[in-house]
Chains A and B, each alone.
Chain A
């Protein structure tokens, strides 16, 4: 009964989404206020209906209702409760319902917090957002209905893929969806502005928080996925340039560009049509990502790859929204009159450079991702584009970006001089020189990657510190510290996010350059040296877990005779799903991870053992979290709360 109610509210949500699309858009065109005002309540109603519908599916999973096909295919009574819940989105249908729910939630949030948006703009934004809801709800209902019942329910389910039974992966999809779908709001604002034919500073201010929110969620989602791959795949890789990863990375790059260009719109009323284009493309890449992940066109073997019908439907959705928005853009972009005037050396120009670098980098990733498809269809060549290509083609953009970023963020608006900025950065220069010399010394003979990575990363961090310091005036230390604390949170956000990028760059460079690997056969009791540590394979035992069997090793790690850690790498088999997994054991540290994997028993006795020392590994994800934190600080800036229409913004918030 509950499941039927969920099914029913899902259908009802589609009807509401249709109303939310048609009435406000027509009303805004005809200036019929009564039609326009339907938008807000409809958006909230749609969000509530889908919240209910989604919770009934959660209910079905939690109570293991095996009359629902989706539950049978993705759950099992023995599964821990956490993974019963996360199993809801560990499959195509459930994750699509979550996707629709998030589209509606963002619409509802615009309705709730968009109090000070002009009525027509608000009606149009919600109307466009509603149309996205219609597209995806109909996709869900007609091709992938999650509420299908079985006439003869089995006694138990088929279990969720064991690899999804992991905290890192369990929460990775919801964050990514919040990111992908959050960009639908920027898209709705862009299309609404095109319909209105007007973009002003206020528009930039309205669209930025939504983009920022989406970008933060994408950052966290990508970091979680990468962290999961690191500890689960058994050899400690963190990024693979897989089409599915690229699908999340392209919107991240474009939304990062959009964040920055929206600042120019807000502060200087320039770059308007470019910003609109970015907002369209950012959501476009999200749609393409959904298509890549769910159609299986680029990946013949994939968990979600199923039905060509779904692929065609998603392609049609992508074509409709991109085709429509870009046509509108072509017709209207000329009307966006730029007001702000600025010199060639200025913050505006620096942000233009940022946008060129990020947008071209995103396009290179896109081209590399779809090239196998193009090559096969157009030239009849079956080829692969893998990590070596992306490393070579993408990295230069990030190197240039990191090199110019600290200078750009110190340039004044309108008109600036390099001399002054470079002079203020001398201390940062000195710090970079010292640290990269140290990296060069430590890694003698191991190439330039480490010193260059350290130079770029520390340049970003010291540059951010210089930025902050320069904003505190010229008085004594105490005054400057007090002023620093009172700087707008947007300033703190910028400085934090840029430092986070620096931390990530240092992590990637040092881990890649300095990693030590050891692969060998070890008998119980053997001790071997890896990267300055002595590792002993103490014992190997068979263990029985709640829903798996495990071969668990005990390995002792010592340095100069002192024990550092006792680790238990495992090899598991999940009998219900008939699947083995590797559970690496990691001793996490600020400056290094010790990463141990137990392999197969060898015919001649002993075990295959892999040991890695991975310097600065955690900096990769720590940097991502710092970036997200910076985004959060910026999002909490007072002017966005005011812009978003929060009613009690001034009270309870310290003066900024």
Chain B
């Protein structure tokens, strides 16, 4: 069931398979940058696939576009800005931290800390309910003697 739709889509979008040899840049360092950037850009007509993985024609066009920008000497940020300016925020698989998105990013750490805080309060309460259970040093000595240590 999982990913069936993605593949259904691929079926209709033609059977090219992700990054093609002809698209790749000859400079391995530039190509590596292009791959890295492609992994963070969404194939707009697919379901949750990056242009690096997708077989759709539109993804191919975007891959070529990214490589053109890199070949033209753009920095990574400039390439991303270029693509976002044309396709909107939707194209970013890694959401920005601007505006309300900050909630998404800090939710994990904030929840973890508050969870730990609540747990700590709970644990302290459970302990304070406890009658003194530890042995006094006399008792420990007796226990040791009894156990024959």
- A-side interface residues toward B, CB under 8 Å? 90, 95, 161, 163-164, 169, 172-173, 176, 225, 228-229, 232-235, 237, 240-245, 248, 270, 293, 299-305, 338, 340-344, 348-349, 352-353, 356-357, 359-361, 363-364, 367-368, 371, 375, 378-379, 381-389, 392-394, 396-397, 414-415, 519-521, 571, 578-582, 597, 599-600, 602, 608, 610
User: CB distance A303 to B50 under 8 Å?
Assistant: no
A348 contacts across to B, CB distance below 8 A: 126
Question: Given known contacts A519-B19, A602-B22, is B111 in contact with A270 (CB within 8 Å)?
Answer: no
B47 contacts across to A, CB distance below 8 A: 242, 299-302
User: In this assembly, does B11 line the interface, its C-beta being within 8 Å of a C-beta of chain A?
Assistant: yes
Shortest C-beta distance, A611 to chain B (Å), equals 12
B40 contacts across to A, CB distance below 8 A: 386, 388
User: CB distance A303 to B93 under 8 Å?
Assistant: no
User: CB distance B53 to A600 under 8 Å?
Assistant: no
User: CB distance A386 to B123 under 8 Å?
Assistant: no
A353 CA / B115 CA spacing, docked (Å): 9
User: CB distance B126 to A338 under 8 Å?
Assistant: yes
User: How would residues 115 to 127 of chain B score, 1 for a CB under 8 Å from any chain A CB and 0 otherwise?
Assistant: 1100100111011
User: CB distance B100 to A237 under 8 Å?
Assistant: no
Question: Given known contacts A382-B88, A597-B17, is B7 in contact with A163 (CB within 8 Å)?
Answer: yes
The list of the 3 closest CB pairs from A to B, nearest first, reads A386-B93, A388-B94, A302-B5
A95 CA / B40 CA spacing, docked (Å): 34
Shortest C-beta distance, B47 to chain A (Å), equals 5
User: CB distance B9 to A397 under 8 Å?
Assistant: no
User: In this assembly, does B95 line the interface, its C-beta being within 8 Å of a C-beta of chain A?
Assistant: yes
User: CB distance B112 to A397 under 8 Å?
Assistant: yes
User: CB distance B90 to A301 under 8 Å?
Assistant: no
A233 contacts across to B, CB distance below 8 A: 3, 7, 53
A396 CA / B16 CA spacing, docked (Å): 36
A299 contacts across to B, CB distance below 8 A: 5, 47-48
User: CB distance B2 to A229 under 8 Å?
Assistant: yes
Partner of A608, one of B21, B48, B89: B21
A186 CA / B16 CA spacing, docked (Å): 46
User: CB distance B100 to A378 under 8 Å?
Assistant: yes
Partner of A383, one of B92, B119, B129, B130: B92
A379 CA / B101 CA spacing, docked (Å): 10
Question: Given known contacts A242-B48, A352-B122, A352-B123, is B89 in contact with A415 (CB within 8 Å)?
Answer: no
Shortest C-beta distance, B30 to chain A (Å), equals 15
Question: Given known contacts A375-B101, A389-B94, is B88 in contact with A397 (CB within 8 Å)?
Answer: no
A303 CA / B1 CA spacing, docked (Å): 8
B123 contacts across to A, CB distance below 8 A: 342, 344, 349, 352
B124 contacts across to A, CB distance below 8 A: 344
User: In this assembly, does B24 line the interface, its C-beta being within 8 Å of a C-beta of chain A?
Assistant: yes
| Interface-facing stretch out of B73-81, B102-110, B137-145 | B102-110
Closest to B46 in A: A301
Shortest C-beta distance, A496 to chain B (Å), equals 27
User: CB distance A303 to B8 under 8 Å?
Assistant: yes
User: CB distance B127 to A383 under 8 Å?
Assistant: no
A234 CA / B11 CA spacing, docked (Å): 13
User: CB distance A389 to B95 under 8 Å?
Assistant: yes
User: CB distance B89 to A381 under 8 Å?
Assistant: yes
User: In this assembly, does B83 line the interface, its C-beta being within 8 Å of a C-beta of chain A?
Assistant: no
A597 CA / B20 CA spacing, docked (Å): 12
User: CB distance A225 to B2 under 8 Å?
Assistant: yes
A643 CA / B49 CA spacing, docked (Å): 47
B17 contacts across to A, CB distance below 8 A: 234-235, 582, 597, 599-600, 608, 610
User: CB distance B21 to A580 under 8 Å?
Assistant: no
B127 contacts across to A, CB distance below 8 A: 341-344
User: CB distance B53 to A235 under 8 Å?
Assistant: yes
Shortest C-beta distance, B53 to chain A (Å), equals 6
B11 contacts across to A, CB distance below 8 A: 578-580
B42 contacts across to A, CB distance below 8 A: 384, 386
Closest to A299 in B: B47
- A-B CB contact pairs (8 Å), 5 listed: A302-B4, A383-B92, A388-B39, A389-B104, A599-B17
A188 CA / B84 CA spacing, docked (Å): 48
Shortest C-beta distance, B23 to chain A (Å), equals 9
User: How would residues 36 to 76 of chain B score, 1 for a CB under 8 Å from any chain A CB and 0 otherwise?
Assistant: 00011010001111100100000000000000000000000
A78 CA / B21 CA spacing, docked (Å): 37
A303 contacts across to B, CB distance below 8 A: 1, 4-5, 8
Partner of B112, one of A172, A356, A381, A571: A356
Closest to B48 in A: A242
Question: Given known contacts A520-B21, A608-B21, is B3 in contact with A371 (CB within 8 Å)?
Answer: no
A303 CA / B111 CA spacing, docked (Å): 35
Closest to B23 in A: A519
A353 contacts across to B, CB distance below 8 A: 116, 119
A394 CA / B104 CA spacing, docked (Å): 12
Of B7, B18, B19, B131, which is in contact with the most chain A CB atoms at under 10 Å from its CB?
B7
A415 contacts across to B, CB distance below 8 A: 133-134
User: CB distance A379 to B99 under 8 Å?
Assistant: yes
Partner of B100, one of A161, A379, A385, A394: A379
Closest to B3 in A: A229
A379 CA / B105 CA spacing, docked (Å): 16
